[in-house]
Amino acid sequence: MADRHDPGAEVGRDVREDRLVPDPLLDGEAGRPPRGAARRRAARPLARREGRDDLLGPVRRGGARLAAGGGRHDARRPPPLPAVLAHDDAELVRARHEGPRRLGVGAPQARRPRRLVRRALLRRGARRADPRRGGRAARRGPVRHRPPLLGPLAPPLDRREARRPLPASRGGDRGGHRRRAREAVPVRPRVPVEGGADEVARPVHPRGDRLPGRRGGEAGGRLADRLRLRPRRDALRDPDALRRGGEAARDPPLRRRRGPERPPPPDRLPRRHGRADPGRRPRSVSRAVVLGAGISGLVAAFRRRPGAGDVVLLEPGERAAGSVRTVEEAGLVLEAGPNTLRGTPEVERLLADLGLDREVLVADPRAPRWVVRAGRPRAVLPGPRGLLTSAVPLPGKLRALGEPFVPRRPEALGDESVHAFFLRRFGEGVARYVAGPLASGVYADDPATLSVRSAFPRLWDAEGRAGSVLRGLLAKGGSPGRPARTRTLTLGRGLRALPEALVERLTAPGAALVTGAEVVAVEGPVAGATCPWRVRTADGRSFEAERLLSTLDAGRLVRLLGERLPRSAPRLRSLSFVRLAVVLQAYGVPRPDGAPRGFGCLMPRGEGFLSLGVLTPSSLFPGRAEPGVALVTSLLGGALDPGLPALPDDELAALAEEETRRLHPGLGERLLARVERWPAAIPRLPVGHHETLAALDADLADVNRGFAEPVLLVTGPFRDGVSLADRVAAGEAAADRI
């Protein structure tokens, strides 16, 4: 600005440059326009207002004389700033039309027009004490009139005191609107903010409170919990105006953010007081929800079709692994769940896609299986050749050779037990020393009650297709859909590497795993709805989905969906489980010839053993244990001894060691013994279980009727097989439908 006592010196140019701003629409010092009675009083003519020529006289006529020192009576009062600015604007417009012209005293030529503050309102009245300035008030006096060329801009919300009400803001109406103003809302103290600690939050009107006289305009009012996270700044002030030292340094600095001001996303909004249940959480919508994160559920999520949408797995436990339980202790890797993995095409493809094919350990296909007969282990070869080994007495071998001449089963016979099937087709010797150990070793079940049609469908189908089990198995091509020979596998880090790799892949967008999510209710399906299923968990969460895949056991499936399965629910509810105790052991081997050989040994009933089987993984997979150490796994309990797993750990460990040394007397000192229990290890499949599955299929057809694609899918060990290879295949089949 020019000297206060010499208004003719460079007044036009200096004032103009002081008015240049980066963005006049963010002028923080502008006030609001008067409204109501104040507006009508401002429009009344004043009794005596000095004219424009009177105010600018010293500038227009006496500039040179005042500069020379004469006419001091004309410079006793400097012209007001608004009048100087108005005159300066007029001179600038004239210069654009008439060419270069001197603007004011001492201006060499007309400067290029630059963007100006078109309407700026000087503060009216005395300024209140500002707490950010240490309680000091402004030094400028009141302004008695408002220049006609200047107008109001929207006041910044962040610079108002907490005791004053907040004015309502119409989006984009910076100069104020002519409609009725909103009712003032006081600042709510301690409003929760989903932002930084130094940011500003202001409540506004809640949605739905339509104010008098309001029509059209915005789509809806702001919610009281929709907060502004970016404070507005004063464009005329220095960005660091609030960071200078002194008393003002007590105020925290305002951080600048890039981009427009937007409310936080819905999942980060604080709860509206008095409107929502405090325990209710926002639900998520997914393409599919999978109940259970075992191997089949993980494979289904991993193998889902590209672009099929997101999937959420709800696992009630704290880990996602299903029946896989690898134990690592004292540098040894032992399996408390499945010990091996059959290398089916689905398994081989999955291991390659997960990058686990480099960790595969392959068992020796020539490694014998053992069956105890007459108190000592007897070697059994896999496949039909096992009928002719030393495990079967000679009379039993002769009877087994006549199996192709046994009449075909009656047409009315829909199912029978494993023991009855082998007894009818192969005789007593094979039924006792082959079928019995096979049923107890794989299913831990009683061969007299286990369904052969459900547990060993290949044997049942072979007889139905060829009239003879041996002819059906030896026929060219064998059973459709199953390869003639597969590998027996495990992984170097244990089978737990398989579910761990699947879980790692679920971290990619489109899949999510939620552990500790006990499902308590399933609502739906609703025909015609976009998301017909709603799943609720015990902790209050809710998940909506278009598809629902259940990998749960039969009991939990009935508890959640029993009303939608009227035919199969009574049968599924009656299914039970076998209980198992697994004793993991490690022994020293003083001499190489004293180490166990082969896969392991199975014990028929009546041979003086309580163990169902004794497995030797260190001999089956070379390199699993260091030289001089033998790993042994004993299986106790099952359907034939249901109370055995309830014994104390030390008794179970002692029993397992005693029977292991009977089988392998060359073992040395026991190095490790650990007991793992399975309260519900394997589902029992009674005779006639195929009728239960047929009723389940009919119920599922009724549920899915009326939808373009199936909305409810069910898989599980009671339906698709209990082995790991069966679970992988079931997961891939389900992935194509979700």
Separation of CA 401 from chain center: 58
Taking residue 612's Cβ as centre, other Cβ atoms within 10 Å add up to: 27
Do residues 696 and 629 share a domain? Answer: no
Residue 252 falls within a domain, yes or no?
yes
**Domain assignment of residue 554, yes or no:** yes
Do residues 143 and 184 both lie within one domain? no
Q: What is the bridge-based pairing of β-strands 284-291 and 542-550?
A: parallel
Domain stop point among 153, 177, 205: 153
What CA–CA distance (Å, rounded) separates 732 from 304? 8
> Are residues 14 and 79 both part of a single domain?
yes
* Residue 9 shares a structural domain with residue 96: yes
CATH of the domain at 297: 3.50.50.60
Helix axes 724-735, 345-354, angle to 10 degrees: 80
Are residues 116 and 31 both part of a single domain?
yes
Token representation of residue 184: 């003032």
Which one of 119, 153, 187 terminates a domain?
A: 153
Which residues, 6 or more positions from 692, have their beta carbon under 8 angstroms from its beta carbon? 568, 571, 572, 575
Q: Do 678 and 694 sit in the same domain of this protein?
A: no
Q: Give the pair of three-digit tokens for residue 616.
A: 């030797």
- For residue 572, give the H/E element and its range: helix 569-573
User: 47 and 61, same structural domain?
Assistant: yes
Name the domain count of the chain. Answer: 5
In three-state form (DSSP H/G/I as H, E/B as E, the rest C), the secondary structure along 310-364 is CEEEEECCCCCCCCCCEEEECCEEEECCCCCEEECHHHHHHHHHHCCHHHEEECC
Q: CA–CA distance from 14 to each of 52, 79, 668 (Å)? A: 20, 14, 102
Pure H helices in 33-80: 37-43, 52-60, 63-68
- 9 touches 67 (CB < 8 A): yes
Assess whether 662 and 522 both reside in one domain: no
**201 and 307 both lie in a single domain:** no
pTM: 0.63
For residues 596 and 629, give the distance between their C-alpha atoms in angstroms, rounded to a whole number. 10
Q: Is beta strand 542-550 parallel, antiparallel or unpaired with respect to 577-588?
A: unpaired
* Contact of 28 with 156, CB cutoff 8 Å: yes
In the predicted model, residues of the chain with pLDDT beneath 50 are 1-5, 7-31, 46-47, 59, 61-75, 100-124, 131, 133, 137-181, 184-252, 254, 264-283, 478-481, 483
**Domain contains 421:** yes
The pLDDT assigned to 35 comes to 57
Answer whether residue 340 is part of any domain: no
**Domain presence at residue 284:** no
CATH code where residue 421 lies: 1.10.3110.10
- Asked if 585 and 728 sit in the same domain, the reply is no
Q: Tell me whether residue 723 is exposed, middle or buried, using C-beta atoms within 10 angstroms of its C-beta: 0 to 12, 13 to 18, 19 or more.
A: middle
Which domain covers residue 68, as residue numbers? Answer: 1-153
Name residues whose C-beta falls within 8 Å of residue 702's C-beta, 6 or more positions apart in sequence.
none
CB-based burial label for 333 (10 Å; 0-12, 13-18, 19+): buried
Closest C-alpha to 563, from 518, 517, 521: 521
- Report the CATH number at residue 600: 3.90.660.20
Q: Are residues 109 and 166 in the same domain?
A: no
Q: Clarify whether residues 233 and 247 are in a common domain.
A: yes
For residue 376, give Cα distances in angstroms to 150, 251, 530: 109, 88, 64
> In 3D, which of 580, 614, 602 has the Cα closest to residue 683?
580
Do the domain assignments include residue 357?
no
Is residue 345 situated within a structural domain?
A: no
Q: Which amino acid is at 304?
A: R
Examine residue 469 and state whether it is found in any structural domain, yes or no.
yes
Helix axes 418-426, 394-401, angle to 10 degrees: 80
Its sign, for the CA torsion 551, 557, 563, 566, is positive
